[in-house]
């Protein structure tokens, strides 16, 4: 109780705060804690703290430290007395890939790279009588809503999604969008991260024009349609479609709708589960997989179509297929609502070693995961689902993950 009282006492004086829930993906596993965001430093303009989602390569800011420290050093060493000039120069100097926030003593600067790899949302939060009581920034609208509700502030909010190459300032006067720097014009072809909509984001979120739930449902429908075109038919009375929690659930519903089959939520998530993909080590990922899911009820004599969002390293899917068989499933067919991941990512998704990828060195076969069949969404179908070609698919190809390609 004393600690809660102290926190509430601090809140009376709090005008700005910066937090981050993403571990560092640059500089090696030994730097996971040292490079965790946010990072604080000083400059001729005063103290500041930095956090961002993405990855900034050494070709943009040179140095042998982690990318967050290269950004901090750039900001700290910049001679301009105006924070706005520093942020504008950073947007020009560093092409990609980031959504970035800089907290200063007078407010918060936000910026999104010119390719739009990562999402960034700013919000004005209102109380019950319609007065603006707070401002917030996050990768997703849902994160702001949940945080505001937990703080007892939320009654309504107005959101603003930063466009690629944009920056804004949040101070005492509210949210001010800055004029786009002419040095960024013309803006290049956008390269939003496909894995954001496939895996990372909540289903009740949006990434620019894409509604995440609608996108994942459509991917599931496309998988079912592709099976039908291939002449693959399942017995309605014997077959259950099981979406893998959590980001595979909506795609599972889409597959069931597209194939006119029953969608079962036979797979449940443990109350203390965390995502295995974002664990920093292989051992931690395997431990997470074993604790994450369980089967509710018996599947005796059933043919199961397991729909998941992706296979990256293959840790989760092998364990899940085995669980379904142990629960009595006669057959397990796996359908993946994205293309095979065959390449590393240079832009902030933690796929650092191509040797770890399930589909990179060997053909992604059903036998390797203990399933009766395995089929993926194609890259062409993924493009149709997102509605445009302005999405990065480098991890699904052998091409280098370079925005200029």
Q: Are strands 239-243 and 303-308 parallel, antiparallel or unpaired?
A: parallel
All residues at 6 or more sequence positions from 204 whose CB lies less than 8 Å from its CB, including other chains: 142, 212, 213
Q: In the prediction, which pLDDT does 396 show?
A: 94
pLDDT top residue among 67 and 199: 199
Question: What is the rounded distance in angstroms from the CA atom of residue 100 to the CA atom of residue 168?
Answer: 11
Q: Are strands 132-138 and 121-126 parallel, antiparallel or unpaired?
A: antiparallel
Q: In the prediction, which pLDDT does 197 show?
A: 96
Q: What confidence tier does 351 reach under pLDDT thresholds 50, 70, 90? A: confident
4: helix, coil or strand? helix
Element (H, E) at 319: helix 315-326
Q: In the prediction, which pLDDT does 238 show?
A: 97
Question: What is the rounded distance in angstroms from the CA atom of residue 361 to the CA atom of residue 14?
Answer: 51
Which tens digits make up the pLDDT trace of 184-214?
988 888 899 999 999 999 999 999 999 999 9
Question: What is the rounded distance in angstroms from the CA atom of residue 119 to the CA atom of residue 196?
Answer: 9
- Where would I find the beta strands (DSSP E) of 265-313? 267-269, 293-295, 303-308
Least confident range of 94-98, 104-108, 109-113: 94-98
pLDDT top residue among 349 and 384: 384
Q: In the prediction, which pLDDT does 340 show?
A: 96
Q: In the prediction, which pLDDT does 195 show?
A: 94
Question: What is the rounded distance in angstroms from the CA atom of residue 7 to the CA atom of residue 9?
Answer: 5
Q: In the prediction, which pLDDT does 12 show?
A: 45
pLDDT top residue among 100 and 19: 100
Ordered by where they begin, the domains of the chain are 2-120+162-188 (3.60.20.10), 196-396 (3.40.50.2020)
Element (H, E) at 149: helix 141-150
Mean pLDDT value across the chain:
86
Which tens digits make up the pLDDT trace of 297-323?
899 999 999 999 999 989 889 999 999
Q: In the prediction, which pLDDT does 42 show?
A: 95
pLDDT, mean of residues 173-193? 88
Q: Is the pLDDT of residue 2 over 50?
A: no
Q: Is the pLDDT of residue 166 over 70?
A: yes
Question: What is the rounded distance in angstroms from the CA atom of residue 287 to the CA atom of residue 268?
Answer: 17
Q: Is the pLDDT of residue 157 over 70?
A: yes
Q: What confidence tier does 10 reach under pLDDT thresholds 50, 70, 90? A: very low
Q: Which two tokens stand for residue 114?
A: 């010119």
pLDDT top residue among 284 and 344: 344
pLDDT top residue among 93 and 29: 93
Q: What confidence tier does 290 reach under pLDDT thresholds 50, 70, 90? A: low
């Amino acid at each position: 109780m004393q600690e809660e009282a102290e926190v509430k006492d601090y809140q009376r004086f709090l005008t700005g705060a910066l937090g981050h829930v993403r571990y560092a993906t640059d500089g090696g596993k030994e730097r996971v804690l040292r490079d965790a965001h946010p990072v604080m430093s000083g400059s001729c303009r005063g103290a500041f703290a930095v956090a961002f989602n993405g990855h900034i390569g050494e070709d943009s800011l040179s140095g042998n430290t982690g990318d967050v420290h290269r950004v901090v050093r750039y900001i700290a060493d910049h001679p301009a007395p105006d924070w706005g000039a520093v942020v504008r120069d950073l947007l020009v100097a560093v092409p990609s890939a980031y959504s970035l926030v800089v907290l200063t003593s007078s407010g918060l600067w936000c910026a999104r790279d010119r390719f739009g790899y990562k999402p960034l949302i700013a919000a004005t939060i209102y109380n019950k009588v319609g007065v603006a009581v707070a401002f917030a920034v996050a990768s997703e609208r849902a994160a702001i809503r949940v945080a505001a509700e937990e703080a007892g502030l939320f009654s309504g909010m107005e959101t603003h999604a930063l466009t690629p190459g944009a920056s804004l300032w949040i101070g005492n006067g509210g949210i001010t969008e800055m004029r786009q720097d002419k040095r960024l014009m013309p803006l290049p072809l956008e390269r939003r991260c496909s894995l954001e909509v496939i895996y990372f984001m909540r289903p009740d979120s949006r990434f620019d024009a894409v509604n995440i739930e609608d996108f994942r449902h459509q991917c599931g429908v496309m998988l079912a349609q592709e099976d039908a075109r291939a002449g693959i038919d399942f017995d309605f009375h014997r077959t259950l479609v099981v979406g893998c929690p959590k980001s595979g659930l909506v795609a599972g519903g889409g597959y069931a709708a597209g194939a006119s089959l029953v969608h079962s939520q036979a797979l449940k998530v443990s109350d203390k589960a965390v995502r295995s993909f974002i664990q920093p080590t292989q051992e931690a990922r395997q431990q997470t997989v074993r604790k994450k899911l369980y089967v509710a009820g018996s599947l005796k004599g059933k043919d199961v179509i397991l729909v998941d969002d992706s296979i990256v390293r293959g840790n989760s899917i092998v364990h899940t297929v085995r669980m379904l068989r142990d629960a009595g499933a006669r057959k397990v067919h796996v359908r993946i609502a994205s293309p095979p991941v065959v390449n590393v990512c240079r832009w902030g998704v933690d796929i650092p070693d191509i040797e770890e990828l399930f589909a990179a060195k060997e053909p992604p076969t059903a036998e390797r995961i203990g399933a009766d069949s395995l089929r993926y969404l194609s890259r062409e179908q993924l493009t149709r689902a997102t509605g445009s070609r302005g999405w990065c698919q480098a991890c699904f190809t052998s091409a280098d993950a370079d925005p200029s390609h």
